[in-house]
Structure 1
Amino acid sequence: MHKEGKVVPLAAAIDRGGRAPLPCLPVVLLQVRDKAALQLRQGLQALFDNADDTLFEMADKAFDRSDQNLYFEAMRDLRLKRKSIERGFLDRFYDAFARIGQLDLLAPLVEPGNMHGKAQGERASAVEGMVARVLSQNGIALQQLGLRLQALLERPLHEQHNPLAPAALCGYFLDAGRNLGVGLRVKLVLLRLFERYVLREADVFYGEANQLMAAAGVLPELPQAPRRRAEDRRINTRRGPANLGQVVGADAAGQAVFASLQTLLAPARGQFAPRVQAVAAAQPISTADLLRLLSHLQHYVPATEEVDDFELGPQLEQLLMRVSVRSGVRRRIEVADEDMINLVGLLFAFIQNDDNLPASLRVLIARLHIPLLKVALLDKGLFSRANHPARRLLNEIASAAIGWQSASEGLRDSLHLRVERVVQRLLNDFAEDIGLFAELLDDFLAFSQDERRRHELLEQRTRDAEEGRARAQQARQQVQHVLNQRLRGRMLPQVVVEMLVQVWSQVLLLAWLKQGEASQAWRDALLTVDTLLASITPPHEPQALLQQVPGLLKALREGLASVALDSAATREFFLQLEQLHLRACAGTEQQPGGEGPPLSDVWVAADIVLTIAEEPACAPVQGAGGQAAALRQVQRLRIGTWVEVLDEDQPLRCKLVARIDSSDRLVFANRTGMKVREWNAASLAQALHRGEVRVLDDGLLFERALQAVVEGLRL
């Protein structure tokens, strides 16, 4: 028990570099130290791997540039000094073991010259809270470790001398990071990350340390301290005081919902794992044992491309047969648990066949079959509480990903990667702590809300552009209408018709767009048209014309200048207008004296259609052909409705972002907010009727699946 060891592990020697050799320590203490050092090194690596993302998000959300620069500088400083902080932390850790019992490990946390400073007070308060949380969760294991260290060293060991105490670990970290040139806010962020990625693993190295020392004969009679399962060691600190996984079926409403479905599920009994369920004399296994078997299978769920080859029934049946052989007693699943397995299986069967979801998403969700089954076995409130974290997480993922486009965006965009990460985290870490779903839900909501804000900004830009274009089109139609009223069916000088259609129409457009149809500018522009046409119509009294011409010429010059007609064209038009006025006064079809080239007249027989600079790329606009039901469906579409277009090789998913009533246009954009399709009501109704477009059901996934399963069971 008291053998001394002088053998130092090679990895530890490399980590310590060229420091002075350590005094001899008992072999078991070396083992405890090196096991803990490995865990601490991994925790520090996870901390620094995630620090960049955390600081970048804080910089992104900062209100002013100085705060942004603060976080960006902190990111740079951390990258440069990461290795030195890791080495410094481990150096202090090894040194604490070398001088175990001789050194006050809490001294680095106390700086007498600064204790009254606000920054020091906030830091001390943060450390105190972190230590208190570790002690509340692992106090018994730490106390047993202290007793074993005292017995091994054969002398008293106070908490401040224990190199694995949470306060000591915080001291190593603060001391190693003293050369970081960051402010208090960043230091507090790093402390929170230290708690999340290092201190939350304390139960692991406390448990392993106690186990090693007990196996070496150091107080083996001490009862084993309660320890969390390795898969559940990442606890969500925001969850309620009670662990939902510790109370099976605590929600009475959920129990009632499940009980009402068991009668409907009865015909399916015996079909799941039939080789073990068919043996009536077999002993049922407990729900807790079933959960352990499912946790084992959970780690063997294949990747997305192989998930169809993984069937839960045969896998669980094989495990039960192994358990039966090992125990010598035939085992089967409890009736209630079998009903739950069948119910969750039906839910996932619906999800896998629900073509409202992108195919890539259905494959990812299929991998969550076992975690959701375990949640249902642990907490039947899953079926009665709309705000259950597992239920909400499934719904939020489906809602955020409804617009995925594998053809254009690929399967590796940021949203797909985030969902993959959520799925893999649940498969790796979820055992019986439903709080993990709440933690992942909060993280996913923060991510999806940021994405949604960016997409909504692009959608608003698309909407504004389309509304502006619709207003321009409406103005163009109104200008066409007033010009056709005045010109169609008349014989008029060609030069005047060309000027009105090509140039003065722009004056009318600007007046309508800027000031509206009821404005004085619009009325003045129309009056100028009427006055011009009247002034060139023979016969005309010279005196009356002389009274009209000055005001007319002034209005024409101002209007032509507002649309930037070049001076040469303006001068040429006014010269020709002068000849037309002379001809009107003479009352003939030709200008008097035959001066200048003859001014030809044209018969305006067809409607005037103004040229459009940019025609939209839109779907065919033919009529709906009497499809009244489809037309009513189009009229009921709300902004935000998703549709799938099937008229191409790869289906296109897009969302209704604008309904332009004035021009009868419905504008659709993809998930990023970029316009991809446009229809009028009639053409969209026809596309719906022919099956070229279908409206997607974007309702809550879990609710739709549960409703469909219940309706199917009642048939």
Structure 2
Amino acid sequence: MKKDSDHIQAAPDNSSSAEIPVLLRQIKDNSTSILLAHLENLFSSCDDLFFDLSSRAATNSEQNLYFESMREVRLKKHGVMASFKGEIEAGFHQIATSAKTSALSSGLNTMANSDHNSLSLVQNDILEQDVAIASMVSKAQVNCQESLYHLNLRFDYLMPNTTINDQNNPMDPQQICHYFADACKMLDLNIKARIILFKQFDRLLVSKLATVYSSANNLLIEAGVLPNTRGYAKNNAQQNQGQSDRATSTATNSQQSVEFDFAELSNLLTSVRQQSPEIIESLIPNYTAYSSNAGPTVSNNDLLQLLTTIQQSIVPPPVNQELQLAENLRQVIDSILAEADDAPAKAVQQPDDDVINLVAMFFDFVLDDSNLPMAVQALISRLQIPILKVALNDKTFFNKGSHPARQLINAIAEASIGWDESTQPQRDRLFSLITKITQEINEEYNNNDQIFIDKLNELDKFIQQTEHKSALIEKRTGQAAEGQARTKLARMMAQKVMFEKLEAAALPEKISEFLTEHWLNLLVMSHLKHGDESPEWIDATQLVDDLIWASHAHNDSKSQARYQKIKPDLLNRISEGMTQIAATREAADETIANLESTLDELHSSDQSDVIIRPLSTSQAETLGHIPGSGSKSWQDMTGVERQQARYKQLTYEYIRKAEQLPIQTWLSFEDPKTGKLTRCKLASRIESSDTYVFVNRFGFKALERQRKDFACDMQAGRATILEKGNLFDRAMGNVLDRLNNNQSSSAV
């Protein structure tokens, strides 16, 4: 009788494919064709693999398991492929009709929330399957991050009524992996065989997704869909045609910027002025009511002229000397308003008073912002007078998120977030450019905002050039780290398998030397090239068992006959392996001759010359086993070791923070020994080794941390996440919060 799970679970075709835009339909067809070809190759590989595993099975039950799995896959592979294709069709139809996409974005809960009666899996099996899927998804999203990002934007551009992201893009690894998992529900497989199937899916299809995304992006670019994705946003995609990328980016940023109503800010300052001096000092340190000065009132124009005089007297920062903070803005105003002969200081108009204090509070925040390197704080502080003049000229300055002066400050802060204090400023191109920009603004700004636009474009041009180069270096850094991690994992797996097989074995010295010096390298190579579920890996590990068996003397006629039968094949497999690890023909022949003579001596009547011994200490260390390296009990630990053990006790909160930290997040790491700060960003997570790779702003590797070590750094305060949001908005948001706190306390 046919089971429910045997039916193809494709989505019903309740709408014609004509509802999908032509370009999307073409991408769907091309991508589906590529994926189905990979899937066909996957099933052929699994057929061979299950057959090979069954022939090497140690027990009848294990042999039957692999035979049944092979038969099940052969019978139902066409149904799985049809279901997989149907899932992709349904995914594209879903975004085309703006339907809810919760079914596509259920993450790890997809399998757990399924009808478990349709799956012949117990709860632990479901969890194991979910972990396998999550691992595939995470690895693919990291490896294809850039191409996926561009594909999402281009799909989003083509779908005006639907926002496309990684949660509903039918081509995203999350959807592709869950489409396959859903399609495989019809397969009645043991969890062991099912996990093998998923690993082959990861190796033969998921690892090829980058080429699928590249093909889709190229097709869209050739069709004229967002050839340059920089600055794209759905709400303004049709605007600013023909303008520079920076203009588009600025328009986008202005939508995200916060508008601060000057009238509201003035009312809040009025409320502050009614408080006692102690409360005012707690809310706004160094607050000065310039409008209350007893001297004559300075007009807005006169105040601007006085500021211009001081601005033009600002000299460039000295070369090869530590950059000093600019004079505090309130001190500048105090000097402007001061009168000779102890006469009362001049006053300013109330609106100008409010502007002065708001701008001063903004720069107070800048100089106290740990997200900015101190040297960059000093450079931005040199713009105090020009920014004050902008705000005095135009009281709506605080309302305009798109104002070029605000955009320039934000751009400087964003570009310099990765600037390291250890960098020599005079040799750093970015620092030199920002220094030049701030000085030229001080020398040339005279109430014309065009200079901010010009300097913003100059900075942006430099950033585009350096970002392109650093992105390439960062990509290579990630690939190198991935390769190193894969090699390290392969060596650890090879060492582990070899040690487990040799730990209790006593072997002739030449044979144990061969296994630990030569065959170990073949295991590493086999794991790197083919993985630990491949026939090549299985054959390489099986040879160790066969050689151990052959290295023991067997007196019964049946065993002796078996030895004579397997010996030629054994030596032939060793010869092929020596060729794979690039041994010279002479070295390979010598090794095989030594092994053959040793084996013949063991199986001869005179065995007195063959020395049999267990693994030596040096051989055990070669296999990654250091005697006495186990964990100490609490009683055996020294005081320092106990303190270190307590320090490593992590809370779940920080492990989750480490796992959920977005790629490209900037952090500051403090060296616990030297106190030196290193600024770097999270470039990639390497799933195979549970490693986080951090790069500097040039794209070169700065740090590498295991997930638990990174979580420990965050918990101990050695790793601090840096905010990359708009500096002006963060600063004025802080000002607004402080002023609103006064309102709240007054109400109480």
Match of 2:333 in 1: 316
Match of 2:416 in 1: 401
**Which amino acid is the alignment partner of residue 575 of structure 1?**
A
Which of residues 262, 273, 276 in structure 2 aligns to 1:266? 273
**For residues 2-401 of structure 1, what are the structure 2 equivalents within 5 Å?**
254-259=261-266, 261-267=268-274, 277-279=292-294, 284-304=297-317, 308=325, 310-320=327-337, 332-401=347-416
Match of 2:106 in 1: none
TM-score of the two chains, using structure 1 as the length reference: 0.57
Match of 2:469 in 1: 454
**Which amino acid is the alignment partner of residue 710 of structure 1?**
L
Q: How many residues align?
A: 452
Which runs of 5 or more residues in structure 2 are unaligned?
Answer: 1-242, 248-257, 275-279, 625-640, 742-748
**For residues 548-563 of structure 1, what are the structure 2 equivalents within 5 Å?**
548-563=566-581
Which of residues 466, 481, 485 in structure 1 aligns to 2:496? 481
Contact 1:361-1:401 within 8 A present in 2 as well: yes
SS in 1 for 2:402: coil
Pair 1:626–1:527, CA change in 2 (3 A): closer
Instruction: Supply the distance in 2 between the matched residues of 1:290 and 1:373 (Cα, whole angstroms).
Output: 11
Instruction: After superposition, give the CA deviation of every residue in 1:159-185 in whole Å (9 maximum; x if it has no partner).
Output: xxxxxxxxxxxxxxxxxxxxxxxxxxx
Instruction: Supply the distance in 2 between the matched residues of 1:315 and 1:479 (Cα, whole angstroms).
Output: 70
**Which amino acid is the alignment partner of residue 499 of structure 1?**
F
Which of residues 690, 694, 699 in structure 1 aligns to 2:720? 694
Which of residues 606, 626, 641 in structure 1 aligns to 2:649? 626
Instruction: Supply the distance in 2 between the matched residues of 1:499 and 1:292 (Cα, whole angstroms).
Output: 87
Q: Following TM superposition, by how much is the alpha carbon of 1:463 offset from its aligned partner in structure 2, in angstroms? A: 1.1
Instruction: Supply the distance in 1 between the matched residues of 2:622 and 2:313 (Cα, whole angstroms).
Output: 67
Contact 2:506-2:612 within 8 A present in 1 as well: yes
**For residues 570-581 of structure 1, what are the structure 2 equivalents within 5 Å?**
570-581=588-599
Instruction: Supply the distance in 1 between the matched residues of 2:401 and 2:728 (Cα, whole angstroms).
Output: 9
**Which amino acid is the alignment partner of residue 420 of structure 1?**
T
Q: Following TM superposition, by how much is the alpha carbon of 1:238 offset from its aligned partner in structure 2, in angstroms? A: 12
Pair 1:669-2:686 in alignment: no
Instruction: Supply the distance in 2 between the matched residues of 1:329 and 1:511 (Cα, whole angstroms).
Output: 87
Match of 2:42 in 1: none
Instruction: Supply the distance in 2 between the matched residues of 1:581 and 1:262 (Cα, whole angstroms).
Output: 94
% identical equivalent positions: 29
Instruction: After superposition, give the CA deviation of every residue in 1:76-113 in whole Å (9 maximum; x if it has no partner).
Output: xxxxxxxxxxxxxxxxxxxxxxxxxxxxxxxxxxxxxx
SS in 2 for 1:407: coil
Pair 1:396–1:516, CA change in 2 (3 A): same
Pair 1:637-2:650 in alignment: no
**Which amino acid is the alignment partner of residue 485 of structure 2?**
A
Instruction: Supply the distance in 2 between the matched residues of 1:237 and 1:680 (Cα, whole angstroms).
Output: 42
Pair 1:582-2:600 in alignment: yes
Instruction: Supply the distance in 2 between the matched residues of 1:655 and 1:252 (Cα, whole angstroms).
Output: 29
SS in 1 for 2:476: helix
Instruction: Supply the distance in 1 between the matched residues of 2:490 and 2:344 (Cα, whole angstroms).
Output: 85
SS in 1 for 2:447: coil
Instruction: Supply the distance in 2 between the matched residues of 1:306 and 1:584 (Cα, whole angstroms).
Output: 78
Q: CA RMSD in A?
A: 3.7
Q: Following TM superposition, by how much is the alpha carbon of 1:353 offset from its aligned partner in structure 2, in angstroms? A: 1.5
SS in 2 for 1:663: coil
Instruction: After superposition, give the CA deviation of every residue in 1:8-56 in whole Å (9 maximum; x if it has no partner).
Output: xxxxxxxxxxxxxxxxxxxxxxxxxxxxxxxxxxxxxxxxxxxxxxxxx
Instruction: After superposition, give the CA deviation of every residue in 1:437-484 in whole Å (9 maximum; x if it has no partner).
Output: 122111111111211222222222211111101011111122122213
Contact 2:265-2:736 within 8 A present in 1 as well: no
| Segment drifting more, 298-307 vs 484-493 | 298-307
Which of residues 588, 594, 602 in structure 1 aligns to 2:613? 602
Contact 2:713-2:719 within 8 A present in 1 as well: yes
**For residues 379-528 of structure 1, what are the structure 2 equivalents within 5 Å?**
379-528=394-543
**Which amino acid is the alignment partner of residue 669 of structure 2?**
E
SS in 1 for 2:543: helix
| Segment drifting more, 426-435 vs 693-702 | 693-702
Q: Following TM superposition, by how much is the alpha carbon of 1:388 offset from its aligned partner in structure 2, in angstroms? A: 2.5
Contact 1:258-1:380 within 8 A present in 2 as well: no
Q: Following TM superposition, by how much is the alpha carbon of 1:626 offset from its aligned partner in structure 2, in angstroms? A: 2.0
Q: Following TM superposition, by how much is the alpha carbon of 1:362 offset from its aligned partner in structure 2, in angstroms? A: 0.8
Pair 1:237–1:664, CA change in 2 (3 A): closer
Q: Following TM superposition, by how much is the alpha carbon of 1:426 offset from its aligned partner in structure 2, in angstroms? A: 1.1
Q: Following TM superposition, by how much is the alpha carbon of 1:239 offset from its aligned partner in structure 2, in angstroms? A: 12
Pair 1:679-2:705 in alignment: yes
Instruction: Supply the distance in 2 between the matched residues of 1:289 and 1:239 (Cα, whole angstroms).
Output: 35
**Which amino acid is the alignment partner of residue 555 of structure 1?**
R
TM-score of the two chains, using structure 2 as the length reference: 0.54
Q: Following TM superposition, by how much is the alpha carbon of 1:418 offset from its aligned partner in structure 2, in angstroms? A: 0.4
Q: Following TM superposition, by how much is the alpha carbon of 1:622 offset from its aligned partner in structure 2, in angstroms? A: 7.2
SS in 1 for 2:688: helix
Contact 2:516-2:623 within 8 A present in 1 as well: no
Q: Following TM superposition, by how much is the alpha carbon of 1:333 offset from its aligned partner in structure 2, in angstroms? A: 0.9
**For residues 562-573 of structure 1, what are the structure 2 equivalents within 5 Å?**
562-573=580-591
Contact 1:456-1:673 within 8 A present in 2 as well: yes
Instruction: After superposition, give the CA deviation of every residue in 1:223-246 in whole Å (9 maximum; x if it has no partner).
Output: xxxxxxxxxxxxx99999xxxxxx
Instruction: Supply the distance in 2 between the matched residues of 1:645 and 1:393 (Cα, whole angstroms).
Output: 29
Pair 1:261–1:457, CA change in 2 (3 A): farther
Instruction: Supply the distance in 1 between the matched residues of 2:612 and 2:259 (Cα, whole angstroms).
Output: 90
Q: Following TM superposition, by how much is the alpha carbon of 1:324 offset from its aligned partner in structure 2, in angstroms? A: 13
Q: Following TM superposition, by how much is the alpha carbon of 1:306 offset from its aligned partner in structure 2, in angstroms? A: 8.1
Instruction: Supply the distance in 1 between the matched residues of 2:245 and 2:727 (Cα, whole angstroms).
Output: 26
Instruction: After superposition, give the CA deviation of every residue in 1:118-155 in whole Å (9 maximum; x if it has no partner).
Output: xxxxxxxxxxxxxxxxxxxxxxxxxxxxxxxxxxxxxx
**Which amino acid is the alignment partner of residue 560 of structure 1?**
M
SS in 2 for 1:482: helix
Pair 1:428–1:408, CA change in 2 (3 A): closer
Instruction: Supply the distance in 2 between the matched residues of 1:270 and 1:402 (Cα, whole angstroms).
Output: 27
Pair 1:445–1:324, CA change in 2 (3 A): farther
Instruction: Supply the distance in 2 between the matched residues of 1:462 and 1:237 (Cα, whole angstroms).
Output: 31
Match of 2:563 in 1: 545
Instruction: Supply the distance in 1 between the matched residues of 2:475 and 2:645 (Cα, whole angstroms).
Output: 29
Instruction: Supply the distance in 2 between the matched residues of 1:687 and 1:420 (Cα, whole angstroms).
Output: 34
